[in-house]
Structure 1
Amino acid sequence: MKRRRLLQTAALALCPASCEKKLSPPAPFVTLADLDAKLKARETTPLLLVEHFIDRIARIDRTGPKVNAIMELNPEVKAIAASCKPGLLHGLPVLIKDNIDTADAMHTTAGSLALRGHKPKRDAALVMRLREAGAIILGKTNLSEWANIRSPNSTSGWSARGGLTRNPHKLTHSASGSSSGSAAAVAAGLAPAAIGTETNGSIISPASACGIVGFKPTVGLISGAGIIPITHHQDTAGPMTLTVRDAALLMQVLAADFTLELPRDALKGARLGVLRQQSGKHPQVFALFEAALQKLRDAGAIIVDSVELPNVREAGSLSWKAMLIELRTDLNAYLEQRGGDVRSLSELIAFNEKHRDAEMPHFGQEFFEQAEKLGSPEIIAAGQEARKMAQQLAGPEGIDAALKEHDLDALICPTNDPVGVINLKTGDTNDRVFSTPAAVAGYPHLTVPLGLVDGLPVGFSFIGTAKADARILALGHAFEQVTQARVAPTFNAG
């Protein structure tokens, strides 16, 4: 109790005595931008914000609806809040996915029991940037174990260490993955923002499924150092937030030399190409999408319908062929430099077999076992050739070709169909999500809430060419202003 009073005293020292009466906790669903304004106006303090979100996590994540999005709270968070650095994110709480290294009191495990006993030696590069900007690392979020690369029969949102994350809109339904905890936490108001990671759909899919903004930037724009890898050709971190403005704010910290403007009229004159073949067949999703297209037209956008995206199937197939080979190489390198009891993919496979009851009660590790067999020089060379061709087909001969043919600023389509019911025995229902072309090309992809279908969120996607991140965010922000489609979850139990 004495420690708590000392921390509050330190936080209030930042605020004149006359403002103490105005201090109040934030609303349940509050943006980074709004919290930043409150902090600057001295209407709250970093410590009060942290205490608010810790209380909300206790009431919604641990008890009550039991979303189970948070893997671990930072035990040092209140002390950090009392002395956080000045910067662009001063005093703002952020959650990060449990496959992003932190050299602090928290673990980094990718949801696996195999990595509990040995912590990383240093922060991931993006964590360093967050801390330098004054952000408060509130905790780690749950995820699909090993970022959903362990088994074809996996259930998104489940990990041996974290258990099962649920969708805040319907607790019986999937939060999708692999950044399930990050998406569900932001959607549930457990933090104003989280950092997820994506190799193929792991930001875009859970963000759209949980009804928030998710941004997968151009690969390489955010450093991948200290992120537990699948393949460096596609892996990237990215922001998961309530608004596009908040995602843009985080990008200015996460990426070096990244600046942008978010004009409300960014849609005026913008040429947007509709990917009908990638839009699925769900009639209620179509209805929401068509209504959004009309709002885009009303805002001055030029809608070019039925744009064909070449090479989708071929690029995806080649990328998958390369990915398992790259998984073995990249994961071995990470585990070796990290140290600990498990220092290679083969040792990880052995660990999972030894602890089968805890690690594999619902699904196996078939992808790991396949990848471990792909280590010969001939196979690695074939993987490199497949990767080169996949990137060419998805990027220059895919997305770029479609953009160029119609002189487009971006490609658009509904991000997803509503997610399915959770079933740990049978695994994911594999509902439609559009993610592969941008993931394989390494190009930016933004999903923004489009609305609800049967109480479950669907998203609206903007895809651009390499390093068109600022333009894609500007288009998404303007779209968000004219649609205002995000809906707070009701934690429906049925």
Structure 2
Amino acid sequence: MVVAALAAGSVLSGAPSPKARAAGAGDGEPAGGAPSRVAGIELDTATIPQLQARMADGSLTSAQLTGAYLRRIAAVDPKIHAVLRTDPTALRQAAASDARHRQGAARGPLDGIPVLLKDNVDTKDLPTTAGSLALAGAPPERDAALVTRLRQAGAVILGKANLSEWANFRAERPTSGWSAVGGQTHNPYVLDRNPCGSSAGSAAALAASLSQVAIGTETDGSVVCPAGMNGVVGLKPSLGLVSGEGVVPISAEQDTAGPMARNVVDTALTLSVLSGGADGPRDPSGAVLPADGQRLPEGFGRPDGLRGKRIGLWRLPSLGPEVDAVMTRTAKKLRAAGAEVVEVTPPYQDRLAELEFPALLSEFHRDIDAYLATRKGPRDLAELIAFNRGHPEEQTCFAGQELFEQALEAPPTTDPEYRAKRAELKDLARRSIDETMAEHRLDAIASPTNPPAWTTDCARGDNDVIPSSTPAAVAGYPSLSVPAGSVGELPVGVLLMAGERQDAGLLSLGASVEHRLDAWRAPRYLPSTQTRAGDR
């Protein structure tokens, strides 16, 4: 229930080698129905360094890039419903970036790069709803801190992405990717399959090449599961590396925004902006970028970067034999690249599952009350519950708000018993990773990110008991999902975890894994599939 509730050469020269385009598509015309090329660049596989090199030599402008993504949104998004709204100032933002590039005053790797924001990240000039009609009135009074950082870096705020309403922390049996504001987001690979939640729109939009990068948020699984299920990359950073100010909360003890992209290099460059990069105060783990701000550190993600690395494989057979077969193939490829792969089972998982949900209930009550006090609409959780009862539109997919009601009755966070349980929870989560890595002398732990996507069904709800995200989520440690393969048409990711503040090293390792697995392929927007994969 917890997870359901939360739920070539160097990468510097390009993304993993592109697979065949969608079936039936002509040159530059994917199955989605809109051009996938701009100024001779393939949007599906272009990286930020490639785009910045073209902007620097004048053969590409941010206005061209932004316009191409806006046209793709208009043509493709009606199939998947990933984008709630575009920013009417996006082309003006792009024009300002182009002026900076012409003057030799570009602000860094994200200057002129289009970014979609999950719609629980505050923007003063666009509505921020968390998918709920309760917040669909006036926009917030100011930008979230991470949005300020993106604007200062010259990024183009392209618009807002749909999400699972209230980040999937409303009903006991929610349907991921659904919100009263945005309706149901579909998985671009097979449209009747689920995109996973809660950063569903962010991941689906990236899979469909509707933006260069996107921002998601996670309490437990809500960045990495959508990334895995939609065949893209998602990083849940170390807790505190990215400011949570101005992000609709579940729990300050676990919440973090994180970068998502179609490749690891773009994910790393986006983190450098969100966290402050080489000169920012929010990156105590060490610089993700060097001082010049345009290139990743020397050797980042090099093809031989797996040689001598020790990786622990946590198989999770509960996700089914098809997923386990993907992990077996993954381990074989990593060993062929020179890594040592040993099988592990992190301890304390049953106790983590027992403790996490009650703690989140108490924390949600505290944190959502504080957030709602900053917005027009319901002023606290009790008023929010009453709002939902009085608005039938909030009940069109599922009616329940059991988690809201349980949170209202949960012990306050000042309660000594709650405090003891949260302390135990954090301690065991950290030990589950630290002890496993120390015992086996590991550089990272790898596990399946997700099962094949299940069929979306409002009556049944989600089918997403996925325990791999919990240890890092509760510990506040980084985790990174990279495409690993597929079951039929449906993507499966490999989740990499590391110790406290090891974000930069994990991203570099992840880029090497991405290069070796070379698992990305374009979605085909199939209406359905004959395979029963995912219907467990």
Is the contact between residue 310 and residue 441 of structure 2 (CA under 8 Å) also seen in structure 1? yes
Matched, 1:32 2:32: no
Q: What secondary structure sits across from 1:486 in the alignment?
A: coil
Q: Deviations over 1:334-358 (max 9, x none)?
A: 111x131211111111111111344
Residue 37 of structure 1: CA displacement? 2.3
Q: Is 1:394–2:425 an aligned residue pair?
A: no
More divergent stretch after superposition (411-420 vs 133-142):
411-420
Helix, strand or coil: the match of 2:432? helix
SS of residue matched to 1:458: strand
1:222 CA drift (Å): 0.5
Correspondences of 1:90-489 after superposition (within 5 Å): 90-104=111-125, 106-256=126-276, 257=278, 258-259=287-288, 261=297, 262-264=300-302, 265-276=304-315, 278-280=316-318, 282-305=320-343, 307-336=344-373, 338-359=374-395, 361-374=397-410, 376=412, 380-395=415-430, 397-430=431-464, 432=466, 434-489=468-523
- CA distance, structure 1, for counterparts of residue 353 and residue 444 of structure 2: 20
Q: Is the 8 A contact 1:96 1:182 kept in 2?
A: yes
Contact 1:438–1:445 (CA under 8 A) maintained in structure 2:
yes
CA distance in 1, matches of 2:448, 2:123: 35
CA distance in 1, matches of 2:180, 2:398: 10
Contact 1:25/1:52, CA 8 A, preserved across alignment: no
Secondary structure in 1 matching 2:80: coil
The one-letter amino acid of 1:183's match is: A
Structure 2 unpaired stretches of 5+ = 1-36, 101-105, 279-286, 290-296, 529-536
> Following superposition of structure 1 onto structure 2, how do residues 67-86 of structure 1 map, counting pairs within 5 Å?
67-84=80-97, 86=106
Displacement of 1:42 in angstroms is 1.4
1:237-293: CA deviation from partner (whole Å, max 9, x where unpaired): 1111111111111111111343253141321211111113x3535223222222221
Give the Cα separation in 2 of the matches to 1:454 and 1:23: 31
Measured after TM superposition, the shift of residue 34 of structure 1 is 2.6
Please give the alpha-carbon distance, in whole angstroms, between the structure 1 residues aligned to 2:225 and 2:467.
Answer: 6
Whether contact under 8 Å (1:417, 1:433) holds in the other structure is no
Secondary structure of 1:82 counterpart: helix
Counterpart CA distance in 1 for 2:47 and 2:398 is: 37
One-letter amino acid matched to 2:92: A
- Counterpart-to-counterpart distance in 1, 2:401 and 2:438: 42
Give the count of matched residue pairs: 464
Code of the residue aligned with 1:345 in structure 2: it is L
SS of the residue corresponding to residue 506 of structure 2 reads helix
- Greater CA drift, 287-296 or 399-408: 287-296
What is the aligned partner in structure 2 of residue 46 from structure 1? 62
C-alpha separation between the residues in 2 aligned to 1:211 and 1:98?
21
Q: Do the aligned residues in 2 keep the contact of 1:26 with 1:49 (CA within 8 Å)?
A: no
What is the identity, as a one-letter code, of the residue corresponding to 2:72?
R
For residues 182-235 of structure 1, the C-alpha deviation after alignment (integer angstroms, 9 at most, x for no partner) is 000000010111000000000010000000011101111111111100001110
- Structure 1: unaligned runs, 5 residues or longer: 1-21
Distance of 1:441 and 1:453 partners within structure 2: 30
The alignment partner of 2:363 has SS state of helix
Q: Deviations over 1:288-327 (max 9, x none)?
A: 222221221122211122x121101212321211100000
Change (3 A) 1:301 1:168: same
Counterpart-to-counterpart distance in 2, 1:449 and 1:246: 14
Correspondence for 1:16: none
Work out the CA distance in 2 between the residues paired with 1:423 and 1:23. Answer: 37
CA contact (8 A) 1:316 1:390 kept: no
Report the Cα distance in structure 1 between the residues aligned to 2:265 and 2:311, rounded to whole angstroms: 21
Q: In structure 1, give the amino acid aligned to 2:490.
A: L
1:381, distance to aligned residue in structure 2 (A)? 3.1
| Structure 1 contact 148–177 (Cα < 8 Å) conserved | yes
Letter in 2 for 1:259: V
- Provide the C-alpha distance between the structure 2 equivalents of 1:373 and 1:252, rounded to a whole number of angstroms: 40
Change (3 A) 1:23 1:399: closer
Alpha carbons of structure 1 residues 82 and 377: separation in structure 2 relative to 1, 3 Å: closer
**Contact between 1:196 and 1:238, CA under 8 Å: does it hold in 2?**
yes
> 3-state DSSP class of the match of 1:466?
coil
- The 1-side partners of 2:397 and 2:215 are apart by 28
d(CA) in 2 for partners of 1:432, 1:372: 26
Please tell me whether the aligned partners of residues 362 and 413 of structure 2 are also in contact (alpha carbons under 8 angstroms).
no
> Residues 331 and 130 from structure 1, CA distance in 2 versus in 1: closer, same or farther, beyond 3 angstroms?
same
Query: Once the 2 structures are TM-superposed, how far is the Cα of residue 433 of structure 1 from its aligned partner?
Result: 5.5
Over the residues paired in the alignment, what is the CA RMSD in angstroms?
1.7
Q: Distance in 2 between matches of 1:73 and 1:170?
A: 24
Shift of 1:413: 1.6
Give the distance between the partners of 2:389 and 2:77, measured in 1 at CA. 31
**Retained in 2: the 8 A contact 1:324–1:367?**
yes
Does the alignment pair 1:490 with 2:529? no
Other-structure match for 2:21:
none
Paired amino acid for 2:428: L
Report deviation, 1:364. 1.3
Q: Tell whether the 8 Å contact from 2:355 to 2:421 is kept in structure 1 after alignment.
A: yes
Contact 1:328 1:372 (C-alpha < 8 Å) held by counterparts = yes
State the 4+ residue runs in structure 1 displaced beyond 6 angstroms: none
Q: Which moved more, 1:423-432 or 1:257-266?
A: 257-266
Change (3 A) 1:298 1:157: same
